[in-house]
Chains A and B, each alone.
Chain A
Amino acid sequence: MKVKDFEVDGFGVWKGLEVEQVSKELTVFCGYNEAGKTTLMQFVRSMMFGFSSPRLEKYSPPVYGGLAGGTVGLSTSVGSFEVQRHVDPNHYHDSVGDLVVIDSHDGAVHGPTKLQSLLGDIDESIFTNVFAIGLQEIQELGALNSTAAADQLYKLANGLDRVSLVDVMRNLSQRRDAIWSGQNGNRARLAILGKERESLLKELESLKQRSKDYSQLANKVVEVGYRLEELAKSLKENDRQSRVLEVAIQVSERWHDRVSVARQIQEFGTLPNRDEVSISKLDRINEEIAHQRERIENFREQRLEIKKDGSALPIKPLLWAQKARIEALAEHTPWIESLQRQSVRLEAEIDQIENSLVGEVDGLGDQLKIKASDIRGLGNRGLASLELTGRKLQDQEDGIIQLEHDFEKTEFDLGQHEERLGTSVARQSTSESLDETGKQVNRLRRRIELEQKIDKLNRGRMELERDVDSVVTEQVLPLEKLSIVGVTFIVGVVLLGFGLIDAVSGGSWISQTSTNMGIVFVFLGTIAGVVAMGLKYHWEGQAKEDLEDFRHQIQIVRQQLKRAKVERTEIDRQLPEKVSGQWELALSDAENRLARLEELVPLEGRVLTARANQDELKRRIATQELEVEKTSKQWKASLRAAGLPDVLQPYQLREIVQRADRISGISDRLDHLKAEQVERKRELDSLNLRIDQTLQESGVNYAGTELIDRINHLGLCINEQRGLVQRRREFTHRYRVLKAKFVKAKRELDRLLGQKQRLLSVVGAESESQYREFDSELMRRDALIENRDHLSQQIDAALGRNHTESQIEELHQEFGAAGLEAAWESVQKQIDSARERQTQFQQESASLHQEIKVVGEDKGMALARLKLEAVENEIIELKMEWQVLATGSTMLEVIRESYESKRQPETLKEASGFLTKLTEGAYTRIWTRLIGEELLVDSADGGTISVDKLSRGTREAVYLSLRLALVGAYARRGSVVPMVLDDVLVNFDGRRIQAAAEVLCEFSRQGHQVLMFTCHDHIRDVFHSLAADVRVLPDHQDVVDSKAIPVPYKGTPKMDEQLELPEFKPKLMPEDDLVSPAAMEPDGIPVEYVEYASTNVRIDPEQYDSELEFELAVVASDQKREQNYLGGTVLEGDHSILPMELSDNDEFWTKPASSLD
């Protein structure tokens, strides 16, 4: 498609401009600034693609009136057409406008579709960036923004297959990115799943925590159960203790009395058993003892009389002992007579010796009247037994003296104690008054306690009555509780109402987003109502229970009060009337009296002890005297038995013993002489000696000297002694009979005394009086025991079967009688407290069980795990999809590298050819990576430079080369559209303008129509020199006024006058001007730089500076790179490069430079 001619009916400053016979190759329109070149180019665009709003706004209505629009004549491969397009006044803003396409061949009129088909695939965007380009558009390609033209460039650059490799790579990349970051404003599925998973994990964590709570709840249930069990035990124990305490309080008085009686019983100390003390038995024994003593005395007297009679018989035991010898001597009278003569000689010596013996005996004194023969009869043995008896008698007499001394001392002490104890009358009443005073003290104390207890019970009753009044008042709920119930109920009703209204309105009344709020309100409202009713019933029930409790307590207090008053009346009756009302005073007096009496009790004990000692001493003295008497009798009997006088004293016996030794010595001498005499005088002397000896041994005193006389006398004496012996034997027999009776009576007496002694010793009595004292004490103690047993029976009856005395005993020991009430109250408080805690624990237990049930039946965890499983599966699937996509991309990368290195695209090859010509061989190749959207240029020396690092002029040469190649590419695809260039060579130097002009001319000659607009004479001249169709635009006023038209330029180029153009050298940006990557760190970005980037820079065309524009372009390029680093956080909008947005018709061109800031 080529433009043959066009006519501007009205567009901006142009009206009625006609351009005819436009060259099919290259046509240059010259005009100075404000001549309307850009307007004309925009007119061509409008004719092709309609009136866009910016164009409509700028160029319509035309300056000189009329409708905007015009006609363009087109020559195509399918014929010639005339395109007429004007702004539709009825649809002013319709971009298509009033469009008519008229076939020149047959005059057929077509619509926009025809024009579209004539344009091929070229849309306005492609036309603007590839075909109709100005300084602004030429840079857009360099920025490689997202225009379809730029895209097409790369698509073209990478060749064609079934599909575009770039498309596929982009598609995979987008699909990968979509997995992470979503697409078309939607959040990525993975992100949504991630959130869901996070939410589910939190929910699961919460549910797991609840499960852990389940175990803790179970622990708590066990613990609460244990505590409830303990509380039940405690309550049971407290109830039992309470009942025991109540019973203890009931029996307290009797208990106290019994304790008092027991104490009195205990004061008796250790007493013998009742069975062991028998006064009647003692009396009977005493009677028998007296009887036996009387018999013994009789026997003694009879024996003494017989003994006396027997002793009075002149029986000579020695003589009787020689009866046989004397009778033998009598038979030997003749023999005796012969012997008399022998005895005469020896008789004298014997008489001498006997005389000395008599002298010794006489030394003992007359008092003893002991014969010498008696002395000789005493052996050592007999004297020793006598000596022992004497010593015993002496000791007993000394003992009596000692006992009498002790008795006197005891008597003195007794007198002292009695003097202290006072009169006997006072002594007699000590113990009795002590008991009486003690009882009075106890009664007074109990009286005072009762008074206090009654006062306390009265106060308690009044308090309870007040409490009852308050509870009765609480049965009608107090204001604060009523307020709570009311407010809760009202809130419930309001919530319920809201919920119901919301439910009726379909869930949109309360919340636009949540349809469940109504149900929640209904639920909350119902709960609040139920809570309010529950609170009301709970508080009312609680008040009722409290009232019953208080009434029960009042009943108990009244009963206690009644019991206390009865007891008080009983005690008042027992107390004397004079102490009425003065209980404390009387108690103090009685306690003082009791204290004094208690002090006398030990003194009385000492008196009793002294008396007992005195009685004991008396008894021992009497006993000792009896012993002395007995020993004395034994002594005398022994003396008599020894032939000694009974008046002999023991000390005298000691002297006799000493003399008897000497007498024995003399007797031995005499015997020796007699034996010597017998030896000398043989038979006579021996016979005489025998007679003498017989006389001596028989103790017969015979004065006759003749042996025969003496033998006869001995015979007579023997006969006499025989009669006496016979009598004595009769006495002896009687004595022995009496002795047997005596011994028997004595033994009986001893038995009785022993029996009496045992009777006393069994009970520990030291005397009979003490024994009798025991009996009286036992009688008094038995009376007290009977009293105690009576009290015990009463206590047992009160205790019943359920309680024991040991419990009451423990309570009295623990609390005392006065503390029982307090203890009972304390136990009651404990019971109340325990019941309260029991209720709390029961509620807690029920709550825990409910909670356990709820937790145990919670299906949330299974549901959450199922959801989490699904979410994670989907995440895994998405990640797998990403991996597959990334693997696919990896494979495509392999292909891309191959294509980049081996299959350089045709378009870029062609562009490279144009660039080589435009730069006179300085740059040889344009190429691009498939991915990365970056154009690269290879210089002649083999280096590769990014386009954005080239100088402005060179860069524009690259872009122009690419445009030309693209136009060629479109042409090869059948899209042939005229190329419109608006002063795109202004930044070229002279040589490059020349080269560019040649390229363009050559390009146009290849079938590509080119319309070139310029305001520069040297450019015009260059084209003119190349025989291009150069036309000078008329002044628009002239066009209106005189229908002026562009005329061909006739001037001759003065090639010789041209300055010698310097050799072209590529101008690279100095390295220092480039911002290093390190400096592009976010922290390193200067503020001015950022602010500058965010400002739309506008340049006054009058002050246009190519160097400034170059710098701005560099800044824009850097900003783009920085954007890559910062993820687009600095620059906003598309990849707008500031200078490229400049248009000479934009209104900002006309604004003052100051507005740049």
Chain B
Amino acid sequence: MTEKIKFIHSSDFHLDEPIRGLQQLPEQLMETLAEAPYLAAESVFDKAITEKVDFVLLSGGLCNLEQLSARAVAFLIKQFNRLEQKDILVYWCGAKEDAADQWPGAIKLPDNVYQFHARSVEHLDFRKDGKWLARIIGAGCDSKPVAGDLLGCVDDDVFNVVLAHADSEVTAFDSDAINYWALGGRSVSLTEEYDNSVIVYPGPPQTREFHSGAPGGFKLVQLHQSRKTNVRTIRADRVHWCSKVAEFQDHSSLDDAKNQFGELALQLAAEHSEQAILCRWQFVVNGPEAVNPEYGIEWRASLLDWLRAEFSGAGNGLWSVSLEEKTKGDLPNQLYEEETLLGEYLRAVGRYQSDDELRLNLQNYLKDDVPRWETDGLAIVNEHQRVEILSKAAMLGMSCLGGQAVPPV
């Protein structure tokens, strides 16, 4: 069963978007984190060359040409030139931010790159050794294609590929005539296989934030003589996001926690020796208490600092993004019934939690001498924030009025 066509499908490089979700940047990982989108994207083109693919499909979202990033443009030109030297074609159907008409006119794309127009449905035929093998149908981001537009381009004798940076409006066309839907625009990979058709969102080569640990990558697709399509996911991310949970016994000491987290960190560094790791730590305390004030802010800060100091140099670098206690659920009712300040406090919070009509106005706490940019939008708490803020306020009350010393500022 020899392969007929081999190509790579990738999208959403977002070269000019940084890694998100970090608050403090480790100096030693700074360059790795900044370069990760470029390195991941470069591995797509490296793979195309080493696998000697026939062509590369790019489903948009490569960079934001509206806010022209010189490096992104220079990077793409360099990679396209590499493919051109190997006679590998590139079919590129851009999103709104990297549509063909956004490309700077002064910079000429290599001849092996074909950019599909943003406002129309076009198709190109791929020939190999003079034999017509596939038809690439490009649906531009503003083309608003209907079924007829795409199906009108289909030829049943060849392998039909729809290339688009699109949403469900495009994929809604349920037709076996399209053999491969090369789509883009999702932050995580998604593949749906049917009898004669496969819908693929490759996701970005480098994930920008924590998505349940989903890795970034691209697709290596092989079409065999039997018309069977084999889609392989190739990992490309240089920064690996993960989350680890440790379980403590009640009244565990700081050293116990360090030992447990340390083992997990070493295990992570070994598993991902080629990548930098961004880890969100969580811990669960086995015991009757719903809240364990002894693992408070200082304790967590101390442990987090230790993790960062100890393992930021492990492997290619392991950075601890956060350390939080995994709560077991709501606070016990008895706390709400106490005739104490804490009880009063929790009851007040409860009233706000149960009654959305009670406005949470923080305007009185704003000072006039604080710059506007710092206070904009602070006083008015929207519904989305309200739940989280009230929940955190309840925990704050627990820590301040629960009998422990008031934490220092």
Q: State the A residues within 8 Å of B (CB).
A: 161-163, 165, 167-168, 171-172, 174-178, 180-181, 183, 190, 194, 208, 210-216, 218-219, 221-222, 852-853, 855-859, 861-863, 865-870, 873-875, 877, 879-880, 882-892, 894-895, 898, 1127
> What are 25 sample pairs from A and B whose C-beta atoms fall under 8 A apart?
A162-B341, A162-B342, A163-B400, A163-B405, A167-B406, A168-B406, A180-B367, A183-B409, A210-B70, A211-B70, A218-B106, A221-B106, A858-B71, A862-B18, A862-B37, A865-B16, A874-B23, A875-B374, A880-B388, A883-B381, A884-B389, A887-B349, A888-B396, A891-B397, A898-B344
Taking CB as reference atom, which chain A residue is nearest B390? A887
Taking the closest CB of chain A, its distance from the CB of B191, in whole angstroms, is 30
B194 on the A face (CB < 8 A): no
Q: Most B CB atoms within 10 A — which of A162, A168, A866, A1127?
A: A866
CB proximity to A under 8 Å, residues B85-111? 104, 106-107
State whether B345 touches A892 (Cβ < 8 A): yes
Taking CB as reference atom, which chain A residue is nearest B74? A856
Residues of B near A1127 (CB, < 8 A) are 369
Q: State the B residues within 8 Å of A (CB).
A: 16-25, 30-31, 33-35, 37-38, 67-71, 73-75, 104, 106-107, 340-342, 344-345, 348-349, 352, 360-362, 365, 367, 369-371, 373-374, 378, 381, 385, 388-390, 392-393, 396-397, 400-403, 405-407, 409
State whether A863 touches B31 (Cβ < 8 A): yes
Bound together, the chains give a CA A210 to CA B75 distance in angstroms of 16
State whether B409 touches A174 (Cβ < 8 A): yes
Residues of B near A181 (CB, < 8 A) are 370
Q: With A222-B106, A862-B16 given, can you name 18 additional A-B contacts, CB distance below 8 Å?
A: A162-B401, A162-B403, A168-B401, A221-B106, A852-B74, A855-B70, A856-B73, A856-B75, A862-B18, A862-B71, A866-B22, A873-B22, A879-B374, A882-B365, A887-B381, A889-B365, A894-B348, A895-B345
Taking the closest CB of chain A, its distance from the CB of B73, in whole angstroms, is 7
Residues of B near A167 (CB, < 8 A) are 406
Taking the closest CB of chain B, its distance from the CB of A1082, in whole angstroms, is 14
Residues of B near A222 (CB, < 8 A) are 106
State whether B70 touches A214 (Cβ < 8 A): yes
Please pick, from A171, A212, A219, A891, the residue contacting B348 in the complex, using a CB distance under 8 A. Answer: A891
Taking the closest CB of chain B, its distance from the CB of A516, in whole angstroms, is 15
Taking the closest CB of chain B, its distance from the CB of A874, in whole angstroms, is 4
State whether A861 touches B389 (Cβ < 8 A): no
Bound together, the chains give a CA A1097 to CA B349 distance in angstroms of 51
Taking CB as reference atom, which chain B residue is nearest A877? B23
State whether A163 touches B406 (Cβ < 8 A): yes
State whether B25 touches A870 (Cβ < 8 A): yes
State whether A888 touches B397 (Cβ < 8 A): yes
State whether B24 touches A884 (Cβ < 8 A): no
State whether A215 touches B104 (Cβ < 8 A): yes
State whether A194 touches B373 (Cβ < 8 A): yes
State whether A212 touches B68 (Cβ < 8 A): yes
Please pick, from A859, A874, A892, A898, the residue contacting B35 in the complex, using a CB distance under 8 A. Answer: A859
Which applies to chain A's interface (DSSP): helix, strand, loop or mixed?
Answer: helix
Taking CB as reference atom, which chain B residue is nearest A168? B400
Bound together, the chains give a CA A216 to CA B68 distance in angstroms of 11
Residues of B near A852 (CB, < 8 A) are 74
Bound together, the chains give a CA A215 to CA B392 distance in angstroms of 48
State whether A879 touches B71 (Cβ < 8 A): no
- The answer to whether residues A891 and B360 also contact, given A168-B401, A212-B68, A215-B104 and a CB cut-off of 8 A, is no
Residues of A near B396 (CB, < 8 A) are 172, 884-885, 887-888
Taking the closest CB of chain B, its distance from the CB of A988, in whole angstroms, is 40
Taking CB as reference atom, which chain A residue is nearest B37? A862
Residues of A near B74 (CB, < 8 A) are 214, 852-853, 855-857
Taking the closest CB of chain A, its distance from the CB of B316, in whole angstroms, is 17
Residues of A near B106 (CB, < 8 A) are 215-216, 218-219, 221-222
Residues of A near B31 (CB, < 8 A) are 859, 863
Please pick, from B22, B344, B406, the residue contacting A171 in the complex, using a CB distance under 8 A. Answer: B406
- The answer to whether residues A883 and B25 also contact, given A219-B106, A862-B18, A873-B20 and a CB cut-off of 8 A, is no
State whether B341 touches A165 (Cβ < 8 A): yes
Taking CB as reference atom, which chain A residue is nearest B19? A866
Bound together, the chains give a CA A172 to CA B348 distance in angstroms of 17
Q: Most B CB atoms within 10 A — which of A163, A181, A873?
A: A163
Taking CB as reference atom, which chain B residue is nearest A183? B409
Taking the closest CB of chain A, its distance from the CB of B96, in whole angstroms, is 19
State whether B365 touches A208 (Cβ < 8 A): no
- The answer to whether residues A862 and B38 also contact, given A171-B400, A887-B360, A888-B393 and a CB cut-off of 8 A, is yes
Residues of B near A178 (CB, < 8 A) are 409
State whether B17 touches A865 (Cβ < 8 A): yes
Taking the closest CB of chain B, its distance from the CB of A154, in whole angstroms, is 16
State whether A873 touches B23 (Cβ < 8 A): yes
Residues of A near B361 (CB, < 8 A) are 890
Residues of A near B401 (CB, < 8 A) are 161-163, 168
Residues of A near B35 (CB, < 8 A) are 859, 862
Taking the closest CB of chain A, its distance from the CB of B8, in whole angstroms, is 24
Taking the closest CB of chain A, its distance from the CB of B23, in whole angstroms, is 4
Bound together, the chains give a CA A221 to CA B22 distance in angstroms of 40
Bound together, the chains give a CA A867 to CA B34 distance in angstroms of 9
Taking the closest CB of chain B, its distance from the CB of A893, in whole angstroms, is 9
Residues of A near B406 (CB, < 8 A) are 163, 167-168, 171
Taking CB as reference atom, which chain A residue is nearest B15? A862
State whether B68 touches A866 (Cβ < 8 A): no
Bound together, the chains give a CA A175 to CA B408 distance in angstroms of 8
Residues of A near B104 (CB, < 8 A) are 215, 218
Residues of B near A880 (CB, < 8 A) are 385, 388-389, 392
Residues of B near A869 (CB, < 8 A) are 18-20, 22
Bound together, the chains give a CA A180 to CA B409 distance in angstroms of 12
Bound together, the chains give a CA A222 to CA B107 distance in angstroms of 9
- The answer to whether residues A176 and B365 also contact, given A171-B406, A887-B360 and a CB cut-off of 8 A, is yes
Bound together, the chains give a CA A176 to CA B31 distance in angstroms of 34
Bound together, the chains give a CA A919 to CA B340 distance in angstroms of 37
State whether B24 touches A870 (Cβ < 8 A): yes
State whether B30 touches A863 (Cβ < 8 A): yes
State whether A214 touches B25 (Cβ < 8 A): no
State whether B16 touches A861 (Cβ < 8 A): yes
Bound together, the chains give a CA A178 to CA B385 distance in angstroms of 22
Please pick, from B16, B344, B400, the residue contacting A888 in the complex, using a CB distance under 8 A. Answer: B400
Residues of B near A218 (CB, < 8 A) are 104, 106-107
Residues of A near B24 (CB, < 8 A) are 870, 874
Taking the closest CB of chain B, its distance from the CB of A31, in whole angstroms, is 48
Taking CB as reference atom, which chain A residue is nearest B322? A877
State whether A215 touches B345 (Cβ < 8 A): no
Taking CB as reference atom, which chain B residue is nearest A208? B67
Residues of A near B75 (CB, < 8 A) are 856
Residues of A near B403 (CB, < 8 A) are 162-163
Taking the closest CB of chain A, its distance from the CB of B14, in whole angstroms, is 11
Q: Most A CB atoms within 10 A — which of B20, B37, B348?
A: B348
State whether A859 touches B374 (Cβ < 8 A): no
Bound together, the chains give a CA A211 to CA B107 distance in angstroms of 13
Taking the closest CB of chain A, its distance from the CB of B402, in whole angstroms, is 7
Q: Most B CB atoms within 10 A — which of A176, A859, A886, A889?
A: A886
Taking the closest CB of chain A, its distance from the CB of B318, in whole angstroms, is 17
- The answer to whether residues A883 and B70 also contact, given A865-B17, A869-B22, A874-B23 and a CB cut-off of 8 A, is no
State whether A895 touches B378 (Cβ < 8 A): no
Taking CB as reference atom, which chain A residue is nearest B402? A162
Residues of A near B344 (CB, < 8 A) are 894-895, 898
Bound together, the chains give a CA A853 to CA B85 distance in angstroms of 20
- The answer to whether residues A858 and B70 also contact, given A161-B340, A167-B406, A176-B365 and a CB cut-off of 8 A, is yes
Residues of A near B68 (CB, < 8 A) are 208, 211-212, 214-215
Bound together, the chains give a CA A520 to CA B74 distance in angstroms of 28
Residues of A near B400 (CB, < 8 A) are 163, 168, 171-172, 888
Taking CB as reference atom, which chain A residue is nearest B367? A180
State whether B389 touches A866 (Cβ < 8 A): no
State whether B378 touches A882 (Cβ < 8 A): yes
Bound together, the chains give a CA A888 to CA B398 distance in angstroms of 10
